[in-house]
């Protein structure tokens, strides 16, 4: 499916928001039940249910060809994406790697989620999403081939309005973020859409499409849903930390260029592919590729990760540490603006999105 056809799916006029978090104030409406959400927003291809493990409200999206997606409403985490990739049987396969945390009420981590932080004048970043009270703002579908859920929250006494939109299509899923500055001062933001993509085996895991792009070692943004913490992602493996091409991984802040057509990800890496910040001061510079493709030699499947509005591509492989999170190998990857904060002036809106698409059929 062409990327240009993916966003936006036009939403109807917004109804009153329905809160998806149990942390509502005494003046706000009580936390909704799946039944009340179903009555307000349910439609063909979209139903609301309680998560079997935690009881949290969840949106279940599906389209005509059988592809499906599950969205945890309290924090906007996509916990399952099962696109149709084979013609035989039901033909659907789980793409995302998730883990149920022990001692946390069975809460799931991994999947696809949003990281969004405000950067202070001192350079310190503070998450805008920790403790956020997300609301189901709207939903839409075209009955057969597209289903969309819109979540929203406000921060800083209403000065920042954050909208998060998740859309399912027959051959892709898209996540989009919109931040509107209703305040009187500019705000600086960093953000990423982190996706934990599952692979059959550690050997044969790679990506294609980053050749010729500069990169440096860099920790991922802090995110409560991420499987690896920034410290774990940057920790060197015993015997040396090796990149996909077989050479030693550069130290943080040291830039190099991807020389390989296929970036092999058997070893542990944590990288950001982007134009170096110093290059961006020039009038003309080369940006990071707008997309790359994951390669799973064992399953024969590939998925394109497409960036819109973001400037960077983040890529992390856990190496030997994957065993901590089950038997399946995985990558934590996604589109981001991590190195240079995005400045949103008063009255302006910033938008960015990520698409995971495929043509395996």
Q: How many angstroms separate the CA atoms of 245 and 264, rounded?
A: 7
Q: What domain count does the chain have? A: 1
Q: How many angstroms separate the CA atoms of 331 and 354, rounded?
A: 16
Q: Two tokens at 303?
A: 């998925």
For the chain, 361 residues long, give each residue's pLDDT as a single digit of tens: 444 344 455 443 443 445 444 333 333 446 778 888 998 998 999 999 998 877 889 999 999 999 999 999 999 999 999 999 998 878 999 999 999 987 656 789 999 999 999 999 888 899 999 888 789 999 999 867 999 999 999 887 789 999 999 999 999 999 999 999 999 999 999 999 999 999 999 999 999 999 999 999 999 999 999 999 999 999 988 654 444 445 678 888 899 999 999 999 999 999 999 999 999 999 999 999 999 999 999 999 999 999 999 999 999 999 999 999 999 999 999 999 999 999 999 999 999 999 999 999 8
Q: How many angstroms separate the CA atoms of 244 and 247, rounded?
A: 8
* Residue 8 lies in domain: 3-357
- Give the residues across from 263 on adjacent strands: 207
Closest by Cα among 220, 202, 226, 197 to 320 = 202
Domain with 86 in it: what CATH number? Answer: 2.70.98.10
pTM of the model: 0.89
């Amino acid at each position: 499916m062409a990327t240009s056809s993916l966003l936006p799916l036009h939403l109807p006029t917004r109804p009153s928001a329905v809160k998806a978090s149990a942390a509502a104030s005494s003046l706000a409406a009580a936390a909704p039940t799946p039944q009340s959400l179903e009555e307000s927003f349910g439609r063909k291809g979209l139903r609301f249910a309680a998560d079997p493990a935690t009881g949290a409200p969840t949106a279940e999206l599906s389209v005509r060809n059988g592809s499906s997606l599950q969205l945890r409403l309290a924090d906007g985490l996509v916990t399952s994406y099962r696109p149709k990739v084979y013609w035989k049987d039901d033909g659907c396969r789980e793409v995302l790697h998730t883990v149920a945390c022990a001692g946390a009420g069975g809460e799931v981590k991994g999947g696809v989620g949003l990281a969004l932080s405000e950067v202070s004048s001192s350079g310190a970043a503070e998450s805008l999403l920790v403790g956020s009270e997300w609301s189901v703002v709207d939903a839409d579908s075209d009955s057969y081939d597209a289903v969309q859920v819109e979540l929203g929250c406000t921060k800083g006494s209403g000065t920042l309005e954050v909208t998060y939109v998740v859309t399912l299509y027959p051959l892709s899923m898209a996540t989009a973020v919109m931040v509107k500055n209703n305040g009187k001062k500019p705000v600086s933001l960093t953000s990423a859409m982190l996706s934990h993509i599952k692979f059959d085996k550690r050997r044969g895991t790679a990506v294609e499409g980053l050749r010729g792009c500069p990169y440096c070692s860099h920790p991922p943004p802090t995110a409560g849903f991420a499987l690896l913490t920034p410290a774990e992602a940057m920790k060197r493996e015993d015997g040396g930390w090796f990149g996909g091409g077989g050479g030693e991984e550069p130290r943080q802040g040291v830039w190099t260029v991807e020389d390989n057509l296929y970036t092999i990800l058997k070893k542990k890496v944590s990288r950001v592919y982007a134009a170096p910040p110093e290059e961006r001061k020039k009038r003309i510079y080369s940006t990071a590729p707008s997309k790359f493709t994951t390669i799973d030699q064992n399953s024969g499947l590939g998925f394109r990760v497409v960036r819109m509005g973001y400037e960077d591509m983040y890529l992390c492989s856990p190496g030997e540490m994957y065993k901590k999170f089950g038997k399946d190998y995985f990558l934590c990857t996604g589109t981001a603006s991590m190195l240079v904060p995005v400045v949103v002036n008063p009255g302006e809106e910033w938008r960015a999105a990520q698409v995971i698409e495929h043509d395996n059929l």
